[in-house]
Amino acid sequence: MIETILLASSGPGNTETMFKALLEIPMIQRSQVTVLKVVPPKTAAGNMGDQRSDNAQELTETIARLGIETAKVTPMLREGEPKDEVCKVADEIGADLIIMGSRGLSGLKAIFKNSVSQYVFQLSSRPMLLVKDDLYSIRPVKRVLVALDKSDMAKESLKVAIDLTRDIKDSELVFVHTLSNLRNSVDEAINANPETDPVLAPAIAEAKRYRINYRCVAPEGQPGKRICELADSLNVNLLVLGSPDRRPSIAKGLPDIDRLLGKSLSDYVRVNAPCPVLLTRIETD
């Protein structure tokens, strides 16, 4: 369940619009939300009081725009590096989900341009919802694409998708079989009887249990590319994908080279998806 949310505020835009769309979902309405605004450290003491007052006012205005119930929201103003503070606050409040904007940069480009979302994606083990800035239209969450394989991460993605859509009228789940070696003959077999497929069958059973509309797809091609193409062609509102932390506990503070260079499936999808991407996480040691 998503009970504690950290929203990294970056002003009016797609991230705020997406959050307001999420507030239409009963599970999100029940969540506690921390709205975090991070400002750079002050080097001069002269007008620090005025600047802090201005930043506090901006935070108040952000919460008013979002329309969060007063009892459900905690405003938080921090000074420091945004990428560090987001990770710190997420751990402090035990966030079940981090929501933040993204410029859609990957690999070394993201590093050179000091991408906050890339840094948090790289080093946090918490689930994240990334919303690209002004690159697509945000719509109410009705159709959710879930990337599935046999992993525990996929099971977590399915659980999150079910929790989000179970109380949305006329919602639909799109289950995508992500085996990279699928061919047309396998695709036809799965679509002919998906309830016998070991990956799709559990997802179908859960959708039926909660009476959620669903469809199953397993097209040919590379997983990352075809997931993004499907999200576009089916007008998906949200994409849910597992994002593993492959590093051992002793190396949690070190970069994951695949993510660093944008070679992982989750990195490809977060950069190229035509809709917001929710990355679920399961830590592995």
Using 50, 70 and 90 to split pLDDT, how confident is the model at 151? confident
pLDDT of residue 125: 86
Amino acid 188: pLDDT: 54
116 and 93 in a common domain: yes
* Residue pair 269/227 in contact by the 8 Å Cβ criterion: yes
CA 88 to chain centroid: 18
Find the CATH number of the domain harbouring 248.
3.40.50.620
Q: How confident is the model at residue 268 (pLDDT cuts 50, 70, 90)?
A: confident
Which residue range is the domain that position 185 belongs to?
143-280
DSSP string, 188-240: HHHHH-GGGSTTHHHHHHHHHHTT-EEEEE--SS-HHHHHHHHHHHTT-SEEE
Q: 192 and 240 share a domain?
A: yes
User: Per residue in 222-265, pLDDT tens?
Assistant: 888 889 999 999 999 999 998 865 444 444 454 444 444 445 78
Q: pLDDT at residue 182 above 80?
A: no
Assigned domain for 138 exists: no
Rounded to the nearest 10 degrees, the angle between the axes of helix 223-233 and helix 265-272 is 30
Distance CA 146, CA 41 (A): 40
Residue 23 pLDDT greater than 60, yes or no: yes
3-class SS at 181? coil
126 & 207 share domain = no
Residue 285 belongs to some domain of the structure: no
Mean pLDDT of 257-284: 75
Q: What is the pLDDT of residues 54-92, one digit of tens each?
A: 888 889 899 999 989 899 999 999 988 888 899 999 999
Among 132, 158, 176, identify where a domain stops. Answer: 132
Task: Please check whether residues 126 and 153 belong to one and the same domain.
Answer: no
Q: What are phi and psi of 202, to 5 degrees?
A: -65, -35
**Closest-CA residue to 98 (of 124, 71, 77):** 124
Range from 145-159, 197-211, 234-248 carrying the lowest mean pLDDT = 234-248
Tokens for 25? 């979902």
pLDDT the model gives residue 186: 45
One domain for residues 162 and 264: yes
Q: Are residues 118 and 39 part of one domain?
A: yes
Phi-psi region of 2 (alpha: psi -120 to 50; beta: other; left: phi over 0): beta
Cβ neighbours around 57 below 10 Å, total:
10
- Count of domains forming the chain: 2
Between residues 138 and 117, the one the model is more confident about:
138
Considering the chain, what percentage of its residues have pLDDT values greater than 70? 78
